[in-house]
Structure 1
Amino acid sequence: MSVQSSTEPAAFQRQASGPADHVFGPRDYGLYALTVIAWSASWFAIRLQVGTVPNEVNLVWRFAIATVLMLAWVVVSKRRIRFPLRDHIRFAALGVLMFSSNFLFFYYGAGYLVSGLLSVVFSLASVVNIMLAALVLRERPSPRVLAGGILGFCGIALMFAPEITAHGLSGGTMIGLALCVAGTLCFCLGNQISAAGLRKGLPLIPMSAWGMVYGTLWSALLAVLLGRPFIVEPTISYLGSLLFLAVVSTVVAFSAYLTLLSRIGPARAGYATVLFPIFALLLSTALEGYQWTAFALAGLVFVAVGNVLVIRAGKA
């Protein structure tokens, strides 16, 4: 049996190695914008989730809803749903890393760090993706991509330098940083597994759906082993944020991101994570009264310039 479904779109039927010289088109810009906006808003939604319901259980509810939607998509669109055991091993690894552990580390990190620092650490995914691609996939990033990534990282550092200085690098702050670095590494390793699966011809949507199945099961297993109660907080803010995280931030945004990854590769797709703190801060300015500083404005310029360098690298 062929590893491709005859009903998969042409974008998924080709070998999706994400070439470094791919030129951005309207679809790429749209996927890029959708991913950034949806995941930027998710930081505020996660903030509404943390509290009464245990973190592991939050992930069970979130990905259980997302899994049902993704599997329904697979069935309705008549995509392939049956795969051999070796592929399920890949799906399980993807689920544990990208659809469970990644989030769990950040949920616990939120107990030690402010949300701005969480997004800053997550923005390291752009750099980590480039390093992993170089080590695992033997993809040599172009000087422009490297320069853009460095500029973006420096911009984020400028934006949060005052906050980092105020909180210091000891005690709880270091624990929070370690948790978030672990979460970022899980996310990036999941990127590589997904990209490798696409290169082997596995269809994107079914692979993501099965990954969510295993991610949900992994979170549920952790909840049971740790004795977490399976409860729901019956409030509008909790239920609304849960639906937003499950539908928009998970199903819609992850599908957009993984499609983007298949088209432009993990290095440049991952750079979208550098922009998350920018839009998260814009939301914080509107909803929480965040005060911009000279450092923040300078950092915004650095990130914008770095972003232009990376997404226009294919036109060089």
Structure 2
Amino acid sequence: MSVSTSIDSGQEPALSATDYGLYGATVFAWGFSWIAMKGQVGIVAPEVSVFWRFVLAAAVMFGWSFFRRHNLRFGWRTHLRFAGLGALIFSTNFTFFYYGAQLLPSGLLAVVFSLTSVFNLFLAFALFRQKPSLATFAAGLIGFGGVALMFGPQIMGAEIDYQAALGLLLCTLGTISFCLGNMLSASTQKTGITVTPATTWGMFYGAVFLGIFATVRGNNFAVEWTFTYIGSLVYLAVVSSVIAFASYLSLLGRIGSARAGYATVIFPVIALAVSTVFEGYHWTGFAFAGLLLVLTGNVMMLKKR
């Protein structure tokens, strides 16, 4: 279906079983990525960790593309689109968040990134004149408000000093970069280019950009040879990058940026559940109220209108 057609008509079709499958894969893969990211932040420079993440992810994607016999030959104008995806989604976005993770609590990182659904609505309107329905807009705001309540204690406990303000700025810039990449991805899919080659080349260019950036900064490309670092690297590269992005970008082309972006409001719920098990997160009344708002917003966003 066409994103613009569904929005212009004011009607958004119900999700199919495939859409729900892609939605679930995205939410769960990214929901566990926050605990994995903690294993990456430390000794190794953030851009180097993200570089190796996408070197591995691109290698997997090229292997899969060759196995499935996807056409990977495109003209230079199309490669400019792929390079844009690499710059916006597969390098800049993550580098900002890895640096932000050094300055802010993980819960606050998830809250900032959950703004994706709201940013997607505004960017789709600003760039493509896609006017969201009132219900879709309200669902995004309700979902964000719910996540904010769930992480309220962490937000209130974060001392807004220079470092915290810088971390918030970095994560906001990372979210905006991701959202702009969403717009480019949706536009690219409309030209007839499928998700697999676009993701493959996007990850390749992202790794190239990060390699250049790390070299210019004089970084050492050595990694931390521990089970935690390597295990989190493999998870982030294969599950959170290859599987999650293939699912998310497919969803983006199928149901539009507004509803696809709402996955980024739901995955903090998964991240919080993981934190409860592995980090002893304490559930409060605010957390339960926030969860109720997130679920309410989810129903509003996904129901057939």
Match of 1:225 in 2: 216
Match of 1:153 in 2: 144
Deviation of the 1:15 alpha carbon: 6.7
8 Å CA contact 1:18, 1:264 repeated in 2: no
Deviation of the 1:95 alpha carbon: 0.3
CA distance in 2, matches of 1:108, 1:19: 38
Deviation of the 1:163 alpha carbon: 2.0
Report the TM-score when normalising by structure 2. Answer: 0.96
Deviation string, structure 1 residues 133-176 (Cα, Å, up to 9, x no partner) = 11111111111111111110111121222222222433211111
| Match 1:269 to one of 231, 236, 260 | 260
* Paired residue secondary structure (1:113): coil
8 Å CA contact 2:26, 2:245 repeated in 1: yes
Match of 2:186 in 1: 195
CA distance in 2, matches of 1:19, 1:283: 36
Report how many aligned residue pairs link the two structures.
Answer: 301
CA distance in 1, matches of 2:89, 2:131: 24
- Greater CA deviation, 160-169 or 277-286? 160-169
Amino acid at match of 1:152: G
CA distance in 1, matches of 2:5, 2:54: 27
Deviation string, structure 1 residues 24-82 (Cα, Å, up to 9, x no partner) = 01111111111000001011101011112111111111101110111112112111111
8 Å CA contact 2:144, 2:265 repeated in 1: yes
User: Which runs of 5 or more structure 1 residues have no equivalent in the other structure?
Assistant: 1-13
Match of 1:76 in 2: 67
Deviation string, structure 1 residues 176-234 (Cα, Å, up to 9, x no partner) = 10000000000000000000001111121101100011000011011100011010211
8 Å CA contact 1:16, 1:198 repeated in 2: no
Match of 1:55 in 2: 46
Amino acid at match of 1:56: E
| Match 1:137 to one of 122, 128, 135 | 128
Match of 2:23 in 1: 32
List aligned pairs for 1:116-131, cutoff 5 A: 116-131=107-122
Deviation of the 1:235 alpha carbon: 1.0
CA distance in 2, matches of 1:182, 1:227: 24
CA distance in 2, matches of 1:253, 1:18: 26
Pair 1:97-2:124 in alignment: no
Pair 1:43-2:62 in alignment: no
| Match 1:164 to one of 155, 161, 164 | 155
* Paired residue secondary structure (1:71): helix
CA distance in 2, matches of 1:73, 1:18: 33
- Greater CA deviation, 178-187 or 70-79? 70-79
User: Which runs of 5 or more structure 2 residues have no equivalent in the other structure?
Assistant: none
8 Å CA contact 2:4, 2:130 repeated in 1: no
CA distance in 1, matches of 2:207, 2:2: 28
